[in-house]
Amino acid sequence: MFVSTDESPPSFKSYTLLMPAVSVGNVGQLAVDLIISTLQLPKVGHFHTDSLIPMVGNNPYATSAENANDLSTNAEVYCSKDLKLAVLQIRTPIIQTRIRQFRKNIVSWIKSSGFSKTVILSSSHAYQRDDQQLQGTPLRYLLTPALQKEAGQRIQELEWREMEKVSTFPGISDSEQKLYIPGGGVTKGLYTDCCDEDIRMAVVLIFCSEGDNIPDAFALGNYLNDWLHLLGKPAQGSPQWNMPPSWKLLFGNGIPPAIF
């Protein structure tokens, strides 16, 4: 459930909600980090739930000594009034037995807050791309029927590629096709829930492998920015993202000088 940090909870009516799916390489979460850190979004509340593993740390987006020691928790909500944007950052995996519960909580929060649309940033295993998915860009999208009416046109102009369905029985029959997002965590579940509940929702995802996923996060951020225009883009090249200080030491400690 959403708990506001202020006495008066903010209104998210007609806001866009951005959230990551905890998925392969944590690309969605990294991209959300980039967005919060670049736009310097203020924190407005927590998503307090028993479905996520608890975690705390200091402010991952610290800009000065004053705000460096603000506590951050496993799921927090940031928001920008000017952009009409709310961003939910999830920092820990979902407890396996409570995945359904988590989906339910998210869907009911989306419904009760009145978001105009929800965008899920996600990723999928690159090694599971099939023949038709292998060519071209690794970036894909999905729209629920409710959002298709509104955003379909714009997405077509961008020449985005929809996530291809794959055969249920590959090599035997191609007649039955299904949506398959391996390594995508709750992505597919949330997408189907939103389709059923007639919620305006989009999935934006990238095929990737585990490793240094920072370039994937940039790619996903740029891709999303082409659609939502969160960040001004120079005529040539990509927008200037700001890496949060919490990204340092992603590959462990500094090198001990004694080894040289």
Cα–Cα distance between 41 and 67 in angstroms, integer? 13
The nearer residue to another protein, 92 or 148, going by C-beta atoms, is 92
Q: Figure out which of the listed residues 18, 24, 142, 199 binds another protein, where binding follows CB under 8 A.
A: 24
Tell me which residue of 195, 104, 220 sits closest to 143, measured CA to CA.
195
CB atoms within 10 A of CB 54: 8
Element (H, E) at 73: strand 71-73
The nearer residue to another protein, 17 or 24, going by C-beta atoms, is 24
* 257 forms part of the interface with another protein (CB under 8 A): yes
- Build a one-symbol-per-residue string for 127-156: x at contacts with another protein by CB under 8 A, - elsewhere: ------------------------------
Report residue 233 CA to chain centroid gap: 21
Whole-number minimum distance, CB 165 to another protein, in Å? Answer: 14
Span from 156-164, 181-189, 198-206, 231-239 in contact with another protein (CB under 8 A)? 181-189
Whole-number minimum distance, CB 71 to another protein, in Å? Answer: 5
The count of residues interacting with another protein (CB under 8 A) is 61
* 260 forms part of the interface with another protein (CB under 8 A): no
- Build a one-symbol-per-residue string for 57-96: x at contacts with another protein by CB under 8 A, - elsewhere: xxxx-x-----xxxx-xx-----------------xxxxx
Q: Figure out which of the listed residues 9, 14, 42, 53 binds another protein, where binding follows CB under 8 A.
A: 53
Span from 148-156, 165-173, 230-238, 244-252 in contact with another protein (CB under 8 A)? 244-252
Element (H, E) at 215: helix 214-228
Q: Are 9 and 113 in contact (CB under 8 A)?
A: no
Q: Name residues whose C-beta falls within 8 Å of residue 97's C-beta, 6 or more positions apart in sequence.
A: none
Tell me which residue of 219, 233, 227 sits closest to 150, measured CA to CA.
227
Whole-number minimum distance, CB 218 to another protein, in Å? Answer: 18
Cα–Cα distance between 3 and 9 in angstroms, integer? 8
* 165 forms part of the interface with another protein (CB under 8 A): no
Cα–Cα distance between 184 and 37 in angstroms, integer? 24
Strand order in the sheet with 75-80: 2-4, 43-47, 75-80, 85-90, 16-20, 117-125, 201-208, 139-143
The nearer residue to another protein, 24 or 110, going by C-beta atoms, is 24
Q: Are 30 and 49 in contact (CB under 8 A)?
A: no
Whole-number minimum distance, CB 169 to another protein, in Å? Answer: 15
* Sites of contact with another protein (CB under 8 A): 3, 5, 21-24, 26, 46, 48-50, 53-60, 62, 68-71, 73-74, 92-100, 125, 180-186, 188-189, 210-211, 245-258
